[in-house]
Amino acid sequence: MPKVSVIVPVYNCEKYIAECLDSAMCQTLSDIEVICINDSSGDSSVSIIEEYMRDDSRIKLIHNECNKGLSYSRNRAIEIAQGEYIQFLDADDYLCDKNVLESLYLTASQNKLDLLKSRIYVVENGVRSEHILYPECVADGVYSGRDLLYRLETHNVCSWNSTSNFVRRAFAAQKGITFCNGIIHEDVLYSYDMYFYAERAMCVNRHTYVYIKRENSLTTQQKGINHLKGYLECMHRVLNRDLCSYSRQFLYATIKYFLRMQSIAIRTRNEIDASIDAECFDGDLKELYSIFIWEKTNLVNVEAVEENLKKMAENQKLYIYGAGVAAKALLGILNEHDIGIDGVFVTDINKSKRTLMGHPVKGINECGSEDKDALVLVAITKQVVGNVLELLHTKGFKNIAYVC
């Protein structure tokens, strides 16, 4: 049985995979296996890995039948891993020196740890910065995972990067800890599970990992609704834990952990579109979003609406642009003034509901020449209104009023 299984999900990383593999294969701890999971790459990543395999039998390569995502790939590798401990390594990152795995293994095995947290470097635009510094009063001590989480949250240095987790494989298997399939930000829940179940855990102020912030990576790509759903799913699963029998300290730590998720979820919503409403989600996530994320007030500028009442009366046709919560609020105000509309336009009908409070919702490309003289009330957030105004002008609309 190898001492460490290094798990490397691979997807279109031909520019970086060699440096990643070099950092693993040059380790002073030679008793390792490196499991690469090809998630249906379309570049030469697999060919590069196969070249390495010809020279080093410690490398294994498995293939997903189609693109399954990071969580599925890691879980599949965990199932076949044989190492005493597991280290996750993303294909566009690398281990920061040749002694990393030996250092982690010695510390973890000597202290009989389920979980060992280390530090990472973050490199952005060629500049390396340090991530989290664990305080002296916490570092190098052995605690339960819950106690460690409390200490880290108390000092605001809790990390949820799975790549900073050195994990005893048998412990994770016994507790059934895996990555949540089908979501983004799966590290958040995985790391919480580690803290929740670990009987012996430690953090060390040793840099082990170099995380490269690249454009269009999962963490830097433009945010979409799936990013928000990922945080909501993690929040939902943490809320579903029965914490009544645990200490107040752990409850405090969980609350802080949860509130950080909530804060990032709100920021993510604002980056996408602050007018996203609860109808975009199903079941429990819908309720969770309504309680913790959705801001229902001050979405429409009532004065701006009233300033345009005369225009609305003069125009034979009136449309709303946007089909979110702001548009709902605007419809309520128009109803108070006994003003009807002729319909609702959105940028992409495939990402929207088909009706809004009984009014048909159409894609902007469905507008006809007879619509161009209509007054369009733009009911979306200011963050994207510039692009929308440009789009409406391109479509031939001249009478446009922004009311949010």
In this structure, are 238 and 153 located in the same domain?
Answer: no
Nearest Cα to Cα of residue 61 among 75, 71, 47, 44: 47
Is residue 320, in this structure, part of any structural domain at all? yes
Question: Do 377 and 401 form a contact (C-beta atoms < 8 A)?
Answer: yes
Identity of residue 4: V
Please check the confidence at residue 383 and state whether its pLDDT lies above 60. no
CA angle 147, 148, 154 (to 5 degrees): 90
In this structure, are 28 and 169 located in the same domain?
Answer: yes
Question: Do 311 and 400 form a contact (C-beta atoms < 8 A)?
Answer: no
Please check the confidence at residue 57 and state whether its pLDDT lies above 60. yes
Q: Decide: helix, strand or coil at residue 328.
A: helix
CATH (domain of 14): 3.90.550.10
DSSP class per residue in 311-340: HHHH-S-EEEE--SHHHHHHHHHHHHTT--
Please check the confidence at residue 384 and state whether its pLDDT lies above 60. no
What's residue 371's pLDDT? Answer: 77
Mean pLDDT of the chain: 89
Q: Which residue has the tokens 């979409």?
A: 224
In this structure, are 376 and 279 located in the same domain?
Answer: no
pTM: 0.74
In this structure, are 144 and 69 located in the same domain?
Answer: yes
Q: Which of 249, 278, 295 is the last residue of a domain?
A: 295
Segment (H or E) for 391: helix 382-394
Identity of residue 198: A
DSSP lists the bridge partners of residue 207 as 119
For the ranges 122-126, 235-239, 328-332, 375-379, which has the lowest average pLDDT? Answer: 328-332
Q: What is the pLDDT of residues 201-242, one digit of tens each?
A: 999 999 999 999 877 655 556 788 999 999 999 999 999 888
Full domain range(s) for residue 262: 222-295
Is residue 190, in this structure, part of any structural domain at all? no
Q: Decide: helix, strand or coil at residue 79.
A: helix
What's residue 349's pLDDT? Answer: 82
CB neighbours (10 Å) of residue 205?
15
Domain tally, the chain: 3
Q: Which of 295, 313, 341 is the last residue of a domain?
A: 295
Please check the confidence at residue 2 and state whether its pLDDT lies above 90. yes
Is residue 192, in this structure, part of any structural domain at all? no
In this structure, are 96 and 162 located in the same domain?
Answer: yes
Is residue 390, in this structure, part of any structural domain at all? yes
Max avg pLDDT among 77-91, 240-254, 284-298, 338-352:
77-91
At 149, phi and psi to the nearest 5?
Answer: -60, -45
